[in-house]
Amino acid sequence: MLIEQLKKGDETAFKTIVDDWQAMVYNTAIGIVQNAEDAEDITQEVFVQVYQSINSFKGDSKFSTWLYRIAITKSLDHERRKKRKKRFAFVRSLFGDESQVVIHPPDFHHPGVALDKKEDAARLFQAINQLPENQRVAFALHKLEGLSYQEVSEVMKTTVSSIESLMHRAKTNLKKNLEGYYKGKG
């Protein structure tokens, strides 16, 4: 088994794990951070952590569940750091520093988003980004990654009924956030 080989320090096993799982980790990260460059950095960080902490993986859950947890944690940590930096830059700008708070539109090249749908996808990702953290994670795992409610509940360490509730609230919030956009387009 690859995990056991990696625990023994087998670099070939690590390379195989990276090859097999990097697309999933990247897709999870970009679904949360919505920036291709950041998602690539997070993907690297995830695999560094996998390599360093593989001995803590006990097999109580599936490897993919453990990997999703790491990817989500790294992605959310990245978002929190980014928000702190923006707040700090804003505070500095209030006191006359030349710093400008720049809010970039989502820079994503999410797999499966056709070129002619980029504007709609950008608006959708913007709306997803406005969701509370737990709704955003549940939505990204279920709708963007295709995980079942059961799998999402395992990754998020909660019940299936909690995931159902989070998804319902996420859809309601997305509908509210997107109504004005689509009325204006129609």
Q: In this structure, are residues 138 and 166 in contact, taking their beta carbons and an 8 Å threshold?
A: yes
pLDDT per residue over 20-76, tens digit each? 999 999 999 998 998 899 999 999 999 999 999 999 998 888 999 999 999 999 999
Domain-by-domain residue ranges, the chain?
A: 1-78, 112-186
**CATH number belonging to the domain at 112-186, selected among 1.10.10.60, 2.40.110.10, 3.40.50.300, 1.10.10.10:** 1.10.10.10
pLDDT at 86: 64
Measured CA to CA, the distance from residue 184 to residue 180 in angstroms comes to 6
CA 177 to chain centre: 20
Q: Identify the weakest region by mean pLDDT among 61-75, 103-117, 162-176.
A: 103-117
Could you name the CATH architecture of 1-78? Orthogonal Bundle (1.10)
Contacts of 126 (CB under 8 A, 6+ apart): 105, 106
Measured CA to CA, the distance from residue 121 to residue 21 in angstroms comes to 25
Percent of the chain with pLDDT over 70: 77
Chain mean pLDDT for the chain? 82
**Beta-carbon neighbour count of residue 70 at 10 Å?**
19
Would you give the DSSP letter of residue 178? Answer: H
Question: Model's pTM, two decimal places?
Answer: 0.67
